[in-house]
Chain A
Amino acid sequence: MIYTVVHRTEVEYDSPVTLARFNVRLRPAPWAGQVLLEHGLTVDPVPWTILDDVGPWVVNRSRLFIRNPLTRLVIVSRFRVEVSAPGFDLAMAVTPSVAQIRDLALAHRDLSPFGPAAYLYASPFVPPSPAITEWARPHLAPESSVLEAGTALMQAIFREFAYDGEATEADTLPGEAFLKKRGVCQDFAHVMLVAARAYGIPAAYVSGYLRTIPPPGKPRLVGADATHAWVALWCGEALGWIGFDPTNNAIARTDHIFTAMGRDYADVAPIDGVFHGGGGQKMEVSVDVAPEGEDATLPLLADPAAG
């Protein structure tokens, strides 16, 4: 499947900001089963410098430095990507048990951001939580296979949590989302990470996009999509990383477009940065995920939570 993705971010500042420096993490990093065909980033106003670099996680970063006073910033990332289904049949796959996967990860000799050791421990947005640990216990028995355990955990979140764009903020910690049993994909992914890591399963945060399937008989709406997040669990040397999407109760295959992987949201945040001055800021994000060869139409009203 080939997709064209357009991700537009517009920020308006109440008063001019200066010496703005941003990290933009929108160019998809290399990932198994995915080929980036083309990518372009446009920024208005044109920055003083744009530097592209890689890492330190499985992430590409563009660093913008805008010297002049700024009241409005528009960043558009546009890319074409080909996504193929994993080369194995999950129904037939045999994965190590929860207990085995922990020992394998602890003995693993890979310090790179692709290795399991990087995702075994708590991270700033994924601190340990006794409540989540206890809640997850029935799903993560030491002898069950990682695939079963991951699926059970994903299903439990999907079942017990309600999608609610108002319940949490970008910096909400998973413990709070867990108490409310509400949140968005970021919260669900964080809760799943806390649970998996509490039992020693290497678990990473993945940011990306999801293909949205329009209701039968209706065309797809342009710009009504959004960025997405899910969890990758390391399932042993043979299978490697497998994506579990607790928001949609689905294993990531050809509908999930990978952008970046890190320990939690902060490692792969689409945009962050610092600047001087400014009062409030208002941000609007629109995303369009267009599968090649499909018709689409412009929406009358874009509802950010609809996607």
Chain B
Amino acid sequence: MATEALAHPASARLQDYPVDVSAGDLFRHAPPDLAASWLTMADGLRALTDESGLPAQELVARQISDLGMSFRLTGDTEERPWQLTPMPLIIGAQEWAGLERGLIQRARLLEAVAADIYGPQQLIANGHLPAAVVTGSRFFARNMVGLEPGASGRGNHYIHVYAVDLARGPRGQWRVLGDRLRIANGIGYALENRLALARATGSLLTQVNTRRLAGFFSELRGGIARDCQRENPRIALLTPGRFNQSYPEQAHLARYLGFPLVEGRDLTVSDERLYVRTIAGPKRIDALWRWIDTLALDPLNFDSRSQIGVPDLFDAWARGGLEIANRPGVEVLEAPVFSAFLPRLFRTLLGEDPLLPNVATWWCGQPIEAAAVREGLDNLLVRTAFGQTAGGLASTEAVPGSSLSRAERETLFEALGRRPMDYCGQEIVQLSTTPALIGNGYEPRPFTLRAFVARGANGEWQVMPGGFARLSASGEIRTTLMGEGDLSADVCVVEAPGITPSQPTLLAVTPPVRRGGGILASQAADNLFWFGRYMERAEATVRVVRAVLGSAIEVDSAAGNNPEVLEKLVGLLVQWGALDPKAADNSVPKICRAALTEAVLPGGVASLFARLRSTGLSLRDRLASDFWRIASRPLPLIDGHRPGALLRIARELIERLSALSGLLGENFVHGPAWRFLDMGRRIERALALSAFTEVLAGEEGEPTEALGVLLDLADSQITYRSRYLTGPRRDPVLDMLLLDPDNPRALAFQLAKLVEHIEALPRLSEDLLPEAPLREARALLAPLMSLGVAEFGPERLDEARSGLLALSGAIAERYFLQYEKTETTTVRTLLA
């Protein structure tokens, strides 16, 4: 190894890592066999760099982009690329085992405290926990008190998934910084970090004997399933929606675990059970892994202002018809103030001493502690006791007392005097460091680690062998997952050399063979359908732009220089809302540029691509990452009016859309989801085709150029030429574009596909009568199949067009959610 290292002087070497790093550096102070793993890892990264000629950071970044990983900071409107440093944290199995025991013990304690607060409340009655510590949290859910649904037979657990922030001190001692029971943010990023790193580094992780994460996730799923009433439960992941900061993480987890990703509006409670509205009617949901907080869960039982919850969800849970992980109200234990009381509760509730300390905390709601915090302020952190803003503190993060100015201190002391219960003091924790690959060398960076604990399929606690490490740019400890300038790192738990990491047992169990993609929620079907429509609409619009542009440069173009045809095409752009009517008299390049960049009018190409992207966001759990990458790629920069450049852009966009079509046809399982997407495309293509035909071949005696352009727009030029030796003539062209059932661009073909799709979709009743969408589609197809081109006049085309709109409406009515808005009522207290 040493000689190899010398052979690559230009690459990053861990041997060059500073010796005088802060006490407790993970690498510098690792025992010899573990240090060897670090060096193997560093050498492997260096070898990869040498082989590929690319920095390791770049190799990892490519995988991240392939996985479609991204995130947002508070206030961001666009997602940013994820920051992962290639060098993981390497932790030995022995050190990890100690941590695991401590984490499991803490999870047991939290479960016991939750069970007491929402049960007999002995801790409060006996003075172990002040009532005001519980009521201070806005998440204390009073209506949970005294309920033990489904106690018979199934597990009665408050907590299923528990995330915990840890700090490692200078002497290697671990400490709990905070408990997270509401949302296990980071659990999906930990998984993605591992995937990205494993893909970027090949067998390197195996070489250093890294434990695998997969088993943990099967256990998590098994643990939730175990607490459900039904044998093969349907578990869904409840998301606040695509605008949530961690939506990409939620979508990824849902896909990885095979859970339907649902929003509140997809769900409905009926007879104390929860259902998801699907294209095949309502389907029962047995359990929710919730990623929204308790208050937002149910507007009738928690906060009536919630717009993302499900009315009476709480009832479904309370009557035993639904499991929720974690249970409503458990996040009361997240309040920082609990760290002041938990250490003593280990003895009280478990009869054990804590194996893993939490950061020392003093609650100012007690007179002695309040006085101590005031006096020792210079050597302490002060923070809000319940995670909400409090007077005299700028944010909800902990602040070093020594950093406060005289005026700030006075403000704090005044507020502390009035409402001491809103504050607590905390010891200042020193963080140990880990080597981070920065530029071309390793630098020590302070880190915190978020670990994850979940109930397994046997109900026992399991710790994820790894986690999410945050390498802080500033060295400050924060409660958010990632901050400006921070890096994330994978966490590798490695076995001593010679010991093979045990394979997750559950992976060995073969699941029952099944087909299809599970349920399709109405909301998702709606989004898929519109995704298809926007895709096809964008393509049709770009084709028109290309035809218009062609007239400006290509001598032999179909449109030639016929001003009448040009005018018709420009008219179409205006009619579709791709072009401001006032701009229709501009020069051809200006018109084309305007239509391509139009982002305000609904039919502009930029608008359509933006809608495609935003609709696609909510389908993230269904779209392959290749597909999503192409669909979300920003539009090429359009700066100027050169026809040649504009034409290249138009061609590139058409290629991009063709690539999407190709992926759809070949890489998407041809199940209901694909059918909705394809139905959207077919309807839109049929509509565009009828518009093209009406404009360019509406009447007898249109110029030949018009028919040529029509063939171009319908991408059927080659087919025509191979079938007919003459130039475009009206009847042959119309037959080919409207009635030919074998031409994939013809109207008849689109309708035949639509009929086929609808026939294959589930029906609501068993009477075998065709439902409305099928009747509409068949009625549209019939004349196309039975009439000759001479009989298919303009009025038939008109009928087809209105029929298509009716079909779209019938599909929406049958399969999608009705556009129902939930309103709230409040009655004003009138009097005096």
Contacts and interface: CB of A to CB of B under 8 A. Distances in A.
Interface stretch (A146-154, A233-241, A270-278): A270-278
Nearest to B132: A117
Contacts of B367: 103
Contact of A266 (B138, B304, B830): B304
B336 to A, nearest CB: 15
Instruction: Classify the interface of chain B: helix, strand, loop or mixed.
Output: loop
A277 B825 contact: no
B205 interface: no
A117 B131 contact: yes
B304 A275 contact: no
B121 A111 contact: yes
B820 interface: yes
A17 B134 contact: no
B829 A229 contact: yes
B567 interface: no
B440 interface: no
A106 B421 CA distance: 8
A269 interface: yes
Interface in B801-826: 820-826
Contact of B311 (A130, A274, A277): A274
B142 interface: yes
A109 interface: yes
Contact of B829 (A17, A55, A163, A186): A186
Interface string A260-286: 000001100111111111100101010
Contact of A278 (B391, B823, B828): B823
B499 interface: no
B134 A117 contact: yes
B827 A271 contact: yes
Interface in B121-154: 121, 124-127, 130-132, 134-136, 138, 141-143, 145
Contacts of A287: 831
B248 interface: no
A58 B820 CA distance: 34
Contact of B303 (A22, A117, A124, A270): A124
A171 B311 contact: no
Interface string A96-107: 000000110111
Contacts of A163: 832
B125 A109 contact: yes
A107 B130 CA distance: 6
Given A110-B131, A200-B418, A272-B824, A122 B830 contact: no
Contacts of B822: 274-276
Contacts of B388: 122
Contacts, number: 169
Interface string B409-434: 00000000011111000000000000
A55 B421 contact: no
A57 B135 CA distance: 12
Nearest to B125: A109
Given A273-B300, A274-B822, A56 B145 contact: yes
B117 interface: yes
A210 B832 CA distance: 9
Contacts of A271: 825-827
A44 B828 CA distance: 21
A117 B130 contact: yes
A113 B142 contact: yes
A140 B141 CA distance: 31
Nearest to B298: A274
Interface in B596-649: none
A200 B831 CA distance: 28
Contacts of B142: 55-57, 113, 118
B403 interface: no
Nearest to A9: B827
A111 B124 contact: yes
B131 A227 contact: no
A79 interface: no
Given A120-B136, A226-B831, A17 B823 contact: yes
B88 interface: no
B550 interface: no
B312 interface: yes
A18 B830 CA distance: 27
Contacts of B138: 121, 123
A175 B828 CA distance: 18
Contact of A199 (B135, B141, B418, B821): B418
B305 interface: yes
Interface string A155-190: 000000001010001110000000000001110000
B121 A275 contact: no
A44 B419 CA distance: 48
Given A117-B130, A276-B822, A248 B832 contact: yes
Contacts of A47: none
B366 interface: yes
A299 interface: no
B830 A227 contact: yes
Nearest to A229: B829
B300 A23 contact: yes
A270 B386 CA distance: 30
A159 B825 CA distance: 33
Interface residues of B, number: 48
A277 B817 CA distance: 13
A95 interface: no
Nearest to A189: B829
Nearest to A169: B828
B654 to A, nearest CB: 42
A188 B827 CA distance: 17
A120 B421 contact: yes
B830 A226 contact: yes
Contacts of B312: 21
Nearest to A225: B831
Contacts of A128: 391
A270 B131 contact: no
B412 to A, nearest CB: 14
Contacts of B186: none
B300 A227 contact: no
A307 B832 contact: yes
Contacts of B821: 276-277
A11 interface: yes
Q: Which residue, of B141, B367, B418, has the highest number of chain A Cβ atoms within 10 A?
A: B418
A34 interface: no
A181 to B, nearest CB: 15
A184 B125 contact: no
A6 to B, nearest CB: 15
B346 to A, nearest CB: 21
B363 to A, nearest CB: 9
Contact of A285 (B303, B305, B830): B830
A108 interface: yes
A304 B135 CA distance: 37
Interface string A41-75: 00000000000000111000001000000000000
B365 interface: yes
Nearest to A247: B832
Contact of B117 (A21, A111, A115, A248): A111
Given A56-B145, A111-B117, A274-B300, A184 B825 contact: no
Nearest to A124: B303
B466 interface: no
Contacts of B305: 124
Interface of A: 9, 11, 17-18, 21-23, 55-57, 63, 102-103, 105-111, 113, 115, 117-118, 120-124, 128, 130, 133, 163, 165, 169-171, 184-186, 197-200, 207, 210, 225-229, 247-248, 265-266, 269-278, 281, 283, 285, 287, 304-305, 307
Given A63-B300, A200-B421, A207-B829, 8 more contacts: A17-B823, A56-B141, A117-B132, A120-B135, A121-B386, A198-B418, A274-B823, A287-B831
In the A-B complex, the 7 residue pairs with the closest CB atoms: A226-B831, A56-B142, A117-B131, A276-B820, A226-B830, A170-B828, A56-B143
12 contacts: A109-B125, A117-B134, A117-B135, A118-B135, A120-B135, A133-B418, A165-B830, A198-B418, A227-B830, A247-B832, A277-B820, A305-B830
